[in-house]
Amino acid sequence: MQRATASSRSGSDGDPPRGELTQLVHIGRQPIYDWSGHVVGYELLFRGAADEIEATRRSAYATSQVIVNAFTEFGLEQLVGGRKCFINLTRDFLVGDLPLPFDPDHAILEILETVEIDDTVIAGTARLVQQGYEIALDDFVFGLGHERLLGLAAYVKLDLLIREPEELAEVVDQVRRYSGVKLVAERVETEEHILLAKRFGFDLLQGYAVGRPQVLTAVSLSPSRLRRLELLGAVTAEDADIMKVSAIVRSDPALSYRVLRATNSAAAGLPRKVASVRDAVVLLGSVKIRQWAALMLVSDVAESASEEQLSSTMARARLCQTVAERLGLSGDAAFTVGLLAGVAELIAEPIAELASRLPLTVEVAEALIDGHGRLGQVLSVVRAYERADEQALSLSPVSSGELAKAYLAAVGWSMKTIEGALGPSAA
């Protein structure tokens, strides 16, 4: 149900001017209630702005943005808190032209009433059900072909605002012939609608009378389009080189952050936490990485990255890696520490809050949050060098001369990396 929404912002009261490297991303969230008054799930909706009161797009672009933002920017736990999550799908996703990069237990797939139902859509939907996904039919109406999917559906949503009681009774009776289907009354906007839903035995309620939608906003980094293309090419290759894939992801701070968040979204059953971007790439695997890269390309928005900001973040990560390796520590883990420290500054988010949403090892998390451990020491040394803190540098296990050489090398590496990511015109 994508209709007018009430706006609720997690940040300021409007959209401030967007920075060159960051952007504001928005997502609509409308609660679905049971008869005891508990929220059993949320429908996630595309919103292009914090004050947008109506969905302006119902397309593959909109669905891709919702998926990418929900899983890699906000995080499902923050959005729905372990409850069910309903995501609208278009034909592209149902027939397999666009991938679903999340597991079946993460979301219920809602088939829009605008999808034309044919044999290809039915076959694709059946495949998704066989894979374990639950299907919901949105704004269900008999005669449009969607009745062919009733045997595959777990939820059927009926719009109370457009139906007379007699018509509603007939549709409910027909749907009830399919066992196991839950009926959702949507656009429940008055007390009379609530009574009508109760009279006909609906299982769940969605609409203004029980809970208005909110629009949530977060600050997001903008991954390089060229890096995403390069990543997609690398993971699509027949003999995908995991080292090359890892190097591409590491070369873009925003891409690194999204891969780490995607790992966290899929991490409920993972045997271990990750200490580096390479670990995240290995755990996700080339198939999932390819799916995320494809969706990020589909959800592409206008970007103008600041080379100076991006280069500074990459240089810090590289310097952390170099210092760590000279001290006999993991360069990958140190690179991740430096990278995430820079990301937190770019999106103006407390590092503790950012780290808590990522599947990081204790060593990496403590280095970021408290500066503890040897990785925390590495980050402290690099920060001291950046601000020319001579007193702090006097206690460094790496000499000032070595730091100066390593810093110049890191800056040179970051400039080459950014030019490769953004193209020569970025200079």
Read off the pLDDT of residues 361-398 as tens digits, 9 standing for 90 and up. Answer: 888 889 999 999 999 999 999 998 888 888 878 878 88
Q: Is the pTM of this model over 0.75?
A: no
What tens digit of pLDDT does each residue of 241-300 get?
777 778 878 877 777 877 887 776 654 455 567 778 888 888 777 777 766 665 665 554
What tens digit of pLDDT does each residue of 164-183 get?
888 888 999 999 999 889 99
Mean pLDDT, residues 196-206 taken together = 94
Checking if the pLDDT of 423 tops 90, the result is: no
Whole-angstrom Cα distance, residue 102 to residue 291? Answer: 9
What tens digit of pLDDT does each residue of 294-344 get?
566 555 433 433 557 767 877 888 899 999 999 999 887 888 888 888 878
Could you report how far apart the first and last alpha carbons of the chain are, in Å? 45
Class of domain 22-218: alpha beta
Between the alpha carbon of residue 427 and those of residues 1, 304, 342, 424, the distances in Å are 45, 12, 21, 6
Whole-angstrom Cα distance, residue 111 to residue 361? Answer: 38
Which pairing describes strands 84-89 and 204-206: parallel, antiparallel, or unpaired?
unpaired
Mean pLDDT, residues 206-223 taken together = 79
- Output 325 or 144, whichever has higher pLDDT: 325
Nearest of 235, 261, 289, 265 to residue 103 by alpha carbon = 265
Checking if the pLDDT of 184 tops 90, the result is: yes
Q: Where in the chain is the domain with CATH 1.10.3210.10?
A: 222-426
Checking if the pLDDT of 188 tops 90, the result is: yes
Q: What pLDDT does residue 154 have?
A: 96
Nearest of 336, 341, 321 to residue 398 by alpha carbon = 321
Which CATH architecture group holds 222-426? Orthogonal Bundle (1.10)
CB 281 within 8 A of CB 289: yes
Checking if the pLDDT of 116 tops 80, the result is: yes
Task: Tell me the pLDDT band of 148, cut-offs 50, 70 and 90.
Answer: very high
- Collect all residues with Cβ–Cβ distance below 8 Å to 362 and sequence separation of at least 6: 273
> Which range has the worst mean pLDDT, 14-18, 167-171, 195-199, 371-375?
14-18
Contacts 24+ apart (CB under 8 A), 235-244: 235/286, 235/287, 235/289, 235/290, 235/293, 236/290, 240/286, 242/278, 242/281, 242/282, 242/286, 243/278
Checking if the pLDDT of 132 tops 90, the result is: yes
Q: Where in the chain is the domain with CATH 3.20.20.450?
A: 22-218
Mean pLDDT, residues 137-163 taken together = 90
Q: What pLDDT does residue 369 have?
A: 92
- Output 314 or 199, whichever has higher pLDDT: 199
Mean pLDDT, residues 87-92 taken together = 86
Across the chain, mean pLDDT equals 77
